[in-house]
Amino acid sequence: MALTEKDYRRNFIVDSIDMAFFNLGMTFGSVLTLLPLFAKHLGAGNLEIGLIPAISNLGWAIPAILGAKYSEKYKKKLDLVLKVTLGERLPYFFLALISFFIASQSPKLALYLSLLMLGIATFSAGFLGPPWMTMISKVIRPEKRGTFFAFGSGFGAIIGIGGAALARYFLSKYPFPHNFGYSFLCASIALMISFAFLAMTKEEPNEDPGKDIPLREYLKGIKEVFIDKNFKSYIFSRIVNTFSMCFANFVTVFALNNFSVSDKVVADFTAILLASQGLSSFIYGPLGDKLGHKITLALGRLFVVIDLILLIFGNSVTCIYLSFILLGFINGAFAVGDFAIILDLAPNNKKELYIGVLNFISSPFSFAFPLLAGKIADLKGYIFLFSLLFIISIFSFIYFIIKVEDPRRNDKNLNYINNN
């Protein structure tokens, strides 16, 4: 049975709340702030801290092609999503247990177990990327996708401010490592609330699901994606942007080393980042729905350039606060724009394949770049790293503007999108 207008409204609400609480959970286990700080207290060096975003990026990318393949045979993508999604949620409960019962007695063991839990969570998320995105393309109207991603990301960031405040309370009130344990426990609670709303989604089954072909044969279909010149340009632009964005993983440690900020101030950084991400997301979504999502992604790349200038030449902790405000603008742009433009770029019957290929091809770079950045920071220092990434960010911005065409500004593609 086809979805009614009531169903579309219901899906917009429940899936936005799902996304918001998922983002709240990620606040309590932030890859940019809390997890690097937790790792640092466990004795991690820059290389091991670099493993945090590397594992996160690799996990999101490598399993995507498998998720794309298995998703195609499901009439309802939601069925597959609900089967696998506990794998991306339960690890945060185990992170809490590691904090409470292992971290004090064996910091190194706790560090590597924590990296393992992060790997399980992100690999599960990576597998679910294509089926979840395809499900969203079915249950949210095309002309509302930008607004949907904006609401989910924005509302998640706004309530995440409260989460950051609670994390700040834990960090200042309780001794290490129990302070992090309470934060990870809150993450697992938020993620289970998210799960409950996800399960309320109403999805129309596909009439003709894809055939269950062997993986080797499925992988041969990747060449179909590379016939699409514009999508190839978009993939390359994503890879370059991944490198320029590596600075974000080291801002917290840079602040700790250069400005002697306290642990509880790190939670303030998280709150500032979330506030600016939330407020900017509510602008990016409607802007992209009206003018095309390329403009959102161009703004995100421009803010990367500006943020790096601030880090290179800034000489006070105020510059770190401003950096996190800009980082919120950046995260909001990419959280809204990248999700939305992928669904515009991918043909209706090839969405899983396009999304899977995008994540799969970018995976080696997503893994290697943060590790490379960490090594450069060890050898040459943070200012050298930020200066190098500044040059790359300028190239990233110019390449994206020139080479990637906005499908919504093309009349033929716009008709396709509106009929999709």
Is residue 211 in a domain? Answer: no
- Report pLDDT for 212: 66
Whole-structure pTM value: 0.77
- Report pLDDT for 379: 92
Contact assessment for residue 361 and residue 235, using Cβ atoms and an 8 Å cutoff: yes
Task: Tell me the pLDDT tens digit for each residue of 183-198.
Answer: 999 999 999 999 999 9
Q: What is the CATH number of the domain that holds 357?
A: 1.20.1250.20
Binning pLDDT at 50, 70 and 90, where does residue 238 land? very high
What phi and psi values does residue 91 have, to the nearest 5 degrees? -55, -25
Range of the domain at 346: 5-202+218-419
Is residue 71 in a domain? Answer: yes
Is residue 333 in a domain? Answer: yes
168-177 long-range CB contacts below 8 Å, 24 or more apart? 168/264, 168/267, 168/268, 168/270, 168/271, 171/263, 171/264, 171/266, 171/267, 172/263, 172/264, 176/41, 176/103, 177/38, 177/41, 177/42, 177/99, 177/100, 177/103, 177/104, 177/110
Task: Tell me the pLDDT tens digit for each residue of 67-109.
Answer: 888 887 888 899 999 999 999 999 999 999 999 999 999 999 9
Cα–Cα distance between 328 and 330 in angstroms, integer? 5
- Measured on CA atoms in the order 413, 416, 417, 418, is the torsion positive or negative? positive
Q: Give, for 84, the enclosing helix (H) or strand (E).
A: helix 77-84
Is residue 95 in a domain? Answer: yes
Binning pLDDT at 50, 70 and 90, where does residue 415 land? very low
Please give the share of the chain, as a percent, with pLDDT higher than 70: 94
Query: If you average pLDDT over every residue of the chain, what do you get?
Result: 87
Is residue 169 in a domain? Answer: yes
Q: What is the domain count for the chain?
A: 1
By CB neighbour count within 10 A (0-12 exposed, 13-18 middle, 19+ buried), where does 202 fall?
middle
Give one DSSP letter per residue of 160-204, joined into a string: HHHHHHHHHHHHHHS-TTHHHHHHHHHHHHHHHHHHHHHTT---P
- Report pLDDT for 297: 94
